[in-house]
Amino acid sequence: MDNKSNAPSFSAKTKMSEIITSSSLLSIIERLNIKLGFGEASINEICHRNNLSTELFLKICKVYAVESFVPDIENLTREDIPEIIGYLQRTHKYWTESFFPNLHSNIHTMLESCDGTSKRMLNKFYDDYDEEIKKHLDYEENTVFPYILSLSDSEQKNANSYRIKDFEENHSNIEEKLQDLKNIVIKYLPESASQQSRINVLNEIFKIEDDLNKHSIIENKILIPLVSKFE
């Protein structure tokens, strides 16, 4: 079923407790509002309790657990769309309340041992990136998601000239600048910058990069094709 022989294998009958093998899969549970305390219940049973599509849950889990897995929209329905939106919105909240504040805090600690020029350069770079992140998330929260949720209203759909292809064509890649940030930390900060602080910053970037990549896969391979199908 999975694309890599050494990847975790699970299905609807797998016990939910058995798949919580990494922090990324634990974060999925949180972002889908599924509470811990599974007992011996299967994935299918827990999804049923939470009015969540088992098929959607398995696809999202495999995006995070199986490196080469590419999801599709087979067996997904219109009813799955609000759950995908909720998942993405809670992911945005997690980024703004946890990931990016942690990264910013680690950058400030790292810069304490740097010269003035390095501090100004990196602070300016991060501030610009932070602004880009906010614009990206605001566009999705205030334009894309409300449009998608309005599709159940036929009058609203007919009156709205926006289409999901507009999102696809203007979907900015907020991962590229993280690569630039990594290069600055690895290559261009002076040797006086604390080694441990650099490693802490890089570890935060690696975590964010991975989550952004998974987020993009869910948007590009599940959300956009599913919305296009029902437009």
Q: What is the pLDDT of residues 7-66, one digit of tens each?
A: 557 899 999 999 887 778 898 999 999 999 999 999 999 999 999 999 999 999 999 998
- The model carries a pTM of 0.87
Q: What does the pLDDT average to over 145-154?
A: 80
How far apart are alpha carbons 37 and 60 in whole angstroms? 21
Contacts of 57 (CB under 8 A, 6+ apart): 28, 32, 43, 47
Q: What is the pLDDT of residues 82-105, one digit of tens each?
A: 999 999 999 999 999 999 999 999
* Average pLDDT of the chain to the nearest whole number: 87
